[in-house]
Structure 1
Amino acid sequence: MPNELANIKYDALALPERDRAKLAKDLLDSLDGDEKLDVSKAWDIEICRRINEIESGEAQLLNAGDVMTDVKKGLNI
Protein backbone atom coordinates (compact mmCIF):
# COMPACT_ATOMS: atom_id res chain seq x y z
CA MET A 1 0.00 0.00 0.00
CA PRO A 2 2.73 2.57 0.79
CA ASN A 3 4.22 2.04 -2.68
CA GLU A 4 0.79 2.42 -4.29
CA LEU A 5 0.20 5.63 -2.35
CA ALA A 6 3.58 6.98 -3.45
CA ASN A 7 2.71 6.22 -7.08
CA ILE A 8 -0.65 7.96 -6.78
CA LYS A 9 1.01 10.98 -5.16
CA TYR A 10 3.67 11.09 -7.89
CA ASP A 11 1.01 10.95 -10.62
CA ALA A 12 -1.15 13.56 -8.89
CA LEU A 13 1.74 16.00 -8.55
CA ALA A 14 2.37 15.70 -12.30
CA LEU A 15 -1.14 16.99 -13.05
CA PRO A 16 -1.76 20.60 -14.08
CA GLU A 17 -2.53 22.95 -11.19
CA ARG A 18 -6.26 23.17 -11.97
CA ASP A 19 -6.58 19.36 -11.98
CA ARG A 20 -4.61 19.07 -8.73
CA ALA A 21 -6.93 21.61 -7.11
CA LYS A 22 -10.01 19.67 -8.28
CA LEU A 23 -8.52 16.40 -7.03
CA ALA A 24 -7.66 17.96 -3.67
CA LYS A 25 -11.19 19.34 -3.30
CA ASP A 26 -12.73 15.99 -4.18
CA LEU A 27 -10.49 14.15 -1.71
CA LEU A 28 -11.27 16.62 1.09
CA ASP A 29 -14.98 16.45 0.32
CA SER A 30 -14.82 12.66 0.61
CA LEU A 31 -13.62 13.01 4.21
CA ASP A 32 -16.46 15.27 5.31
CA GLY A 33 -19.33 12.98 4.40
CA ASP A 34 -22.87 13.80 3.31
CA GLU A 35 -23.29 16.95 5.40
CA LYS A 36 -20.45 18.70 3.57
CA LEU A 37 -21.88 17.53 0.25
CA ASP A 38 -25.33 18.94 1.11
CA VAL A 39 -23.83 22.32 2.02
CA SER A 40 -21.73 22.32 -1.14
CA LYS A 41 -24.77 21.51 -3.29
CA ALA A 42 -26.78 24.24 -1.59
CA TRP A 43 -24.05 26.79 -2.29
CA ASP A 44 -23.79 25.63 -5.92
CA ILE A 45 -27.53 26.22 -6.32
CA GLU A 46 -27.29 29.65 -4.66
CA ILE A 47 -24.32 30.68 -6.81
CA CYS A 48 -26.18 29.66 -9.97
CA ARG A 49 -29.24 31.60 -8.82
CA ARG A 50 -27.18 34.73 -8.23
CA ILE A 51 -25.39 34.42 -11.57
CA ASN A 52 -28.73 34.05 -13.34
CA GLU A 53 -30.07 37.16 -11.59
CA ILE A 54 -27.01 39.17 -12.63
CA GLU A 55 -27.10 37.94 -16.23
CA SER A 56 -30.83 38.58 -16.56
CA GLY A 57 -30.50 42.09 -15.15
CA GLU A 58 -32.79 41.22 -12.24
CA ALA A 59 -30.09 41.88 -9.64
CA GLN A 60 -29.19 45.46 -8.82
CA LEU A 61 -25.41 45.70 -8.59
CA LEU A 62 -23.98 48.34 -6.29
CA ASN A 63 -20.61 50.04 -6.23
CA ALA A 64 -18.70 48.94 -3.10
CA GLY A 65 -17.45 52.46 -2.44
CA ASP A 66 -20.99 53.85 -2.54
CA VAL A 67 -22.19 51.12 -0.18
CA MET A 68 -19.42 51.87 2.32
CA THR A 69 -20.20 55.60 2.15
CA ASP A 70 -23.86 54.87 2.90
CA VAL A 71 -22.92 52.56 5.79
CA LYS A 72 -20.62 55.19 7.29
CA LYS A 73 -23.35 57.81 6.98
CA GLY A 74 -25.81 55.48 8.69
CA LEU A 75 -23.35 54.86 11.52
CA ASN A 76 -22.39 58.54 11.77
CA ILE A 77 -18.73 57.71 11.19
Structure 2
Amino acid sequence: MKNQILYLTNIQDCIQAIDNYTHEGKQAFFTNKMMQDAVIRNLEIIFDSLAVVGVVGAVGASRCINVRCEN
Protein backbone atom coordinates (compact mmCIF):
# COMPACT_ATOMS: atom_id res chain seq x y z
CA MET A 1 0.00 0.00 0.00
CA LYS A 2 2.86 2.38 0.86
CA ASN A 3 4.40 1.95 -2.61
CA GLN A 4 1.03 2.49 -4.29
CA ILE A 5 0.67 5.82 -2.50
CA LEU A 6 4.09 6.87 -3.81
CA TYR A 7 3.09 5.96 -7.37
CA LEU A 8 -0.25 7.74 -7.04
CA THR A 9 1.54 10.83 -5.73
CA ASN A 10 3.89 10.60 -8.71
CA ILE A 11 0.87 10.48 -11.05
CA GLN A 12 -0.57 13.56 -9.37
CA ASP A 13 2.76 15.39 -9.77
CA CYS A 14 2.88 14.49 -13.47
CA ILE A 15 -0.66 15.75 -14.03
CA GLN A 16 0.25 19.02 -12.33
CA ALA A 17 3.39 19.33 -14.46
CA ILE A 18 1.39 18.75 -17.66
CA ASP A 19 -1.09 21.39 -16.56
CA ASN A 20 1.75 23.84 -15.90
CA TYR A 21 3.45 23.08 -19.23
CA THR A 22 0.30 23.53 -21.28
CA HIS A 23 -1.26 26.57 -19.63
CA GLU A 24 -0.33 28.77 -22.60
CA GLY A 25 -2.69 26.85 -24.85
CA LYS A 26 -2.80 24.61 -27.88
CA GLN A 27 -0.88 26.86 -30.26
CA ALA A 28 2.05 27.24 -27.86
CA PHE A 29 2.09 23.48 -27.35
CA PHE A 30 2.21 22.67 -31.06
CA THR A 31 5.01 25.15 -31.74
CA ASN A 32 7.27 24.07 -28.88
CA LYS A 33 8.98 20.69 -29.36
CA MET A 34 10.50 20.75 -25.88
CA MET A 35 7.06 21.24 -24.32
CA GLN A 36 5.67 18.37 -26.40
CA ASP A 37 8.51 16.09 -25.28
CA ALA A 38 7.97 17.04 -21.62
CA VAL A 39 4.23 16.34 -21.82
CA ILE A 40 4.76 13.03 -23.62
CA ARG A 41 7.37 11.95 -21.06
CA ASN A 42 5.00 12.77 -18.19
CA LEU A 43 2.24 10.77 -19.89
CA GLU A 44 4.64 7.82 -20.17
CA ILE A 45 5.44 8.11 -16.46
CA ILE A 46 1.71 8.20 -15.66
CA PHE A 47 1.02 5.04 -17.68
CA ASP A 48 4.03 3.25 -16.18
CA SER A 49 2.88 4.19 -12.67
CA LEU A 50 -0.65 3.02 -13.45
CA ALA A 51 0.79 -0.30 -14.59
CA VAL A 52 2.67 -0.71 -11.31
CA VAL A 53 -0.42 -0.07 -9.19
CA GLY A 54 -2.42 -2.43 -11.38
CA VAL A 55 -4.75 -0.03 -13.17
CA VAL A 56 -3.51 -0.85 -16.68
CA GLY A 57 -1.60 -3.86 -18.00
CA ALA A 58 2.13 -3.62 -17.51
CA VAL A 59 2.98 -4.87 -21.00
CA GLY A 60 3.04 -1.96 -23.37
CA ALA A 61 1.47 0.55 -21.00
CA SER A 62 3.52 3.34 -22.53
CA ARG A 63 2.27 2.32 -25.96
CA CYS A 64 -1.19 3.52 -24.97
CA ILE A 65 -0.11 7.04 -25.84
CA ASN A 66 -1.06 7.87 -29.40
CA VAL A 67 0.16 11.36 -30.15
CA ARG A 68 -1.14 13.04 -33.26
CA CYS A 69 -0.06 16.62 -33.68
CA GLU A 70 -2.13 18.74 -36.02
CA ASN A 71 -1.85 22.48 -36.52
TMscore range, shorter length:
0.3 to 0.5
TM-score (norm 2): 0.37
Q: Which one has a larger percent helix, Structure 1 or Structure 2?
A: 1
Q: Which has the larger radius of gyration?
A: 1
